[in-house]
Structure 1
């Protein structure tokens, strides 16, 4: 027996020399770090080792498979981060891995027996042990928290319905700004725009829809078509932003009564633009304020002063004294000021306001970078369900994240269906259809030119990306934009203001 112990320093270190004991301690620590359960197998704790090594083997196999899949197809990384079933599994599995690792580590420390290590090595060993606990357990705990937040976000925000296919190679998503709140009956969308995205390239066109557009038609398959076969044409009260309430009044006729207002507005947007709208995303404007704050604010350049107004006096219909101003020039806006910048009506037209709203949308897209998401994820995840609702199914989120990254790298084109091309009080929808079709065709051609520029000899990726993102054009127009309305407090009160270029995203 003594001879066996002498030749087995792993299980019987008391018979080994001091240098051998020190090496043994480091060896057992490294084995536990890389292969939790390996030390337990060396000490013949087979049942424990079998469970721990199974957990370790499954974890390494899953990690290798995921890495290979992501290298083959980038979108698989988005699937991991957005699929509710994968997120639920990882939220359970990662704590199991962490617990297994910690238990094996402390059991290995017990078997190492610190008293067998030389005093000089012991201090380094204890420091390394503590560092490993922080390095491994900390990220695993943080990762579990992030995954749980992401799982909750996917469940709360996205729908569980069927995925819609792109139409003519494009996804068309209606963006609604909801003004529902205290003192209001029902929802009357405060802002409306249709985002048309090329399903392959991500090249996007934002079509601004005036909320005061009249006589809007409905497709023949819309439940509201039988109520308004000649369009929603009952006078000045029958505006585009009132269609939402019409949907809610006839909700039992829609496929999903809970989202009848959204479906009705999608139908109207389809008939106005000539594009089939597959999805909607509605932003609660109060939640929008919290979301901007969670992002840490947004950066944009304002071309004129924008007022922060007092409440309207119900007896006179007039605003009270202006409470403050968002000044012209480059601004970093928090949620409160970004909301006012997007919504302010005083001293401006509805069409100018549409440009400001699109400017805020563009700023959010450009500034929602991975670093911001990772460092402020908890706040963003907490704010998003209260700020946004959508019928995009969770199964499609990974594809849309991939598209969003493509969109972010390109210049976002825009078109407003406003005067002089389209008159909201008496719109010609054939003209509107042609304007939209022409703008999408133009954007598609620009996207093809960008591809050719990237593949041209001597053209660098960074140079082409600068053109795609609109770098250069903004700086050329900056002096003109900053000069517009800067000295008069935005005194232009005309309904059909020609000054629509009032802001941009730096």
Structure 2
């Protein structure tokens, strides 16, 4: 009887020892081998482990001291590749140590139930540890491939008067349609230090405007783009595609022509462009789980050449990708100007609601959607800087100026006035009423409720737009840059 009790107690001791070896390997890889006699393997494993801990602590300290280091590290293909293979090697090595700890625990000396328990525990630990590391390696690989596919290897462009000016274009996708006649044209002017952003919206139907001096398009149209009612701002992409021979060495003639026009109109020097595929945008919204928007009026889904199939009802609503796309694009019972305002509201909502935590948790979906969403010439070397600016911009109100009636006569725009408004908006301290330059522009505008001569009348509905700038249809409050959040 005493012998049987001794065997039972010995079995319990062996089981506890085998279990302890597994836990030791999980907490401190290599420690099980050290205490069990495989000292050389244990020393190598623990040196690697402590080396990784020391490296991690150093990286963490650098991250605390400098956020820019984190962004640089996370956008550097070489280091991402090194981290990826390091995670894969760590997964294999840790799984090997767990299996070796199981072997050292002498499973054949255990009772059947104990053996089965140890096999189960070892399997769970191997799959959990190695699986987590391999998944992390996969995420790093996705990040590396995303950066390679998304960003260019071209030269970086320095700031202009302390600001980066990014041309944002939105249009439909398609094998033969990328960049043709963009639906939306916006310049995001970003302070290089603070990230404060002003959005300048240009109507796609603007006529009779100049091009940047010395540009390709200025040589073709020295008196401006004044070739009739078909020569609208968004037609430049089509024109350039029909005259590719003029754009020698230019990768995207349509974007180049549009950029030269925007520079001529606003007086701003454009650093980079980002072309947004509006159908790919639907995938992005779905990837982040939807976006919450303040819908001020009933927005039709469909229409303009097709039937209206439904409506987005007023109120604060979380919209999926399909609904958000129609919120931004719907033209039924509305005009281009109200749609411009809604599109900027979507931009603002995405900026404020796309948190770093959400990006991490849904990174693979976001990266995949982004490849279908954006085409840009931002160089890879500048990605870390713009990530830093984007995070700074999230904590500040985004201001917006839209060059639409009554502020601007889109058929015969006063370019000097537009450029004066741009400069006033950029220099303004007050985020909610930044521009007050209307009276200075040849007296063509009014701060009252009567639109200027020649300006098209605007509908009284579609309150999603706000006024003349930021809230465009609630009277003709000309020449002020509004806090975009208050308009949306």
Band the TM-score falls in, shorter-chain normalisation: 0.7 to 0.9
Cα distance in 2, alignment partners of residues 60 and 485 from structure 1: 61
The alignment of Structure 1 onto Structure 2 pairs a total of residues equal to 443
SS in 2 for 1:237: coil
Q: Which residue of 1 aligns with 2:261?
A: 268
Residues 68 and 497 of structure 1, relative CA distance in 2, 3 Å threshold = closer
Cα distance in 1, alignment partners of residues 112 and 45 from structure 2: 31
1:249, distance to aligned residue in structure 2 (A): 3.8
Residues 252 and 69 of structure 1, relative CA distance in 2, 3 Å threshold = farther
Cα distance in 1, alignment partners of residues 255 and 44 from structure 2: 51
1:137, distance to aligned residue in structure 2 (A): 2.7
Which residue, out of 420, 431, 439, partners 2:417? 431
SS in 1 for 2:282: helix
1:453-483 deviation line (CA, Å, top 9, x unaligned): xxxxxxxxxxxxxxxxxxxxxxxxxxxxxxx
Cα distance in 1, alignment partners of residues 51 and 422 from structure 2: 52
Q: Which residue of 2 aligns with 1:88?
A: 81
Whether contact under 8 Å (2:142, 2:364) holds in the other structure is yes
1:167-213 deviation line (CA, Å, top 9, x unaligned): 11111111100134489697111101000111111111111011111
1:118, distance to aligned residue in structure 2 (A): 9.7
**Alignment of 1:360 onto 2:335:** no
1:20-66 deviation line (CA, Å, top 9, x unaligned): 86775566445533553455566676775676456435533432221
Q: Which residue of 2 aligns with 1:6?
A: none
Cα distance in 2, alignment partners of residues 141 and 77 from structure 1: 22
1:327-379 deviation line (CA, Å, top 9, x unaligned): 22222222222112111222112111111111111111111112322332222
1:65-95 deviation line (CA, Å, top 9, x unaligned): 2112101112222223222222222222101
SS in 2 for 1:330: strand
**Alignment of 1:153 onto 2:132:** no
Q: Which residue of 2 aligns with 1:141?
A: 134
Q: Which residue of 1 aligns with 2:473?
A: 498
Cα distance in 2, alignment partners of residues 221 and 35 from structure 1: 66
Q: Which residue of 1 aligns with 2:298?
A: 305
Which residue, out of 153, 171, 179, partners 2:172? 179
Q: Which residue of 1 aligns with 2:437?
A: none
Cα distance in 2, alignment partners of residues 124 and 332 from structure 1: 47
Whether contact under 8 Å (1:180, 1:187) holds in the other structure is no
**Alignment of 1:231 onto 2:224:** yes
Unaligned runs of 5+ in 2: 1-6, 435-459, 466-470, 476-481
Q: Which residue of 2 aligns with 1:440?
A: 426
Q: Which residue of 2 aligns with 1:97?
A: 90
Q: Which residue of 2 aligns with 1:199?
A: 192
Unaligned runs of 5+ in 1: 1-13, 313-319, 450-483, 491-495
SS in 2 for 1:323: strand
Higher-RCO chain (CA-CA 8 Å, sequence separation at least 6): 1
**Alignment of 1:219 onto 2:212:** yes
SS in 2 for 1:193: strand
- With structure 1 as the length reference, what TM-score do the two structures score? 0.77
Which residue, out of 361, 382, 396, partners 1:396? 382
Cα distance in 2, alignment partners of residues 186 and 164 from structure 1: 22
Cα distance in 2, alignment partners of residues 505 and 214 from structure 1: 27
1:377-415 deviation line (CA, Å, top 9, x unaligned): 222121111111111112211211111111111111000
**Alignment of 1:258 onto 2:251:** yes
Greater shift in the superposed pair: 128-137 or 398-407: 128-137
Greater shift in the superposed pair: 144-153 or 46-55: 46-55
Alignment of 1:242-257 (within 5 A): 242-254=235-247, 256-257=249-250
Residues 357 and 186 of structure 1, relative CA distance in 2, 3 Å threshold = closer
Q: Which residue of 2 aligns with 1:76?
A: 69
1:430-454 deviation line (CA, Å, top 9, x unaligned): 1111111111111x4559x9xxxxx
Greater shift in the superposed pair: 292-301 or 431-440: 292-301
SS in 1 for 2:220: coil
Whether contact under 8 Å (1:273, 1:436) holds in the other structure is yes
Which residue, out of 325, 333, 337, partners 2:323? 337
Alignment of 1:447-466 (within 5 A): none
SS in 2 for 1:272: helix
Greater shift in the superposed pair: 387-396 or 326-335: 326-335
Greater shift in the superposed pair: 168-177 or 323-332: 323-332
1:147-180 deviation line (CA, Å, top 9, x unaligned): 1221121111111112222211111111100134
SS in 1 for 2:186: strand
Whether contact under 8 Å (1:188, 1:241) holds in the other structure is yes
SS in 1 for 2:216: coil
- With structure 2 as the length reference, what TM-score do the two structures score? 0.80
Cα distance in 2, alignment partners of residues 504 and 24 from structure 1: 65
1:303, distance to aligned residue in structure 2 (A): 1.7
Whether contact under 8 Å (1:356, 1:503) holds in the other structure is no
1:119, distance to aligned residue in structure 2 (A): 10
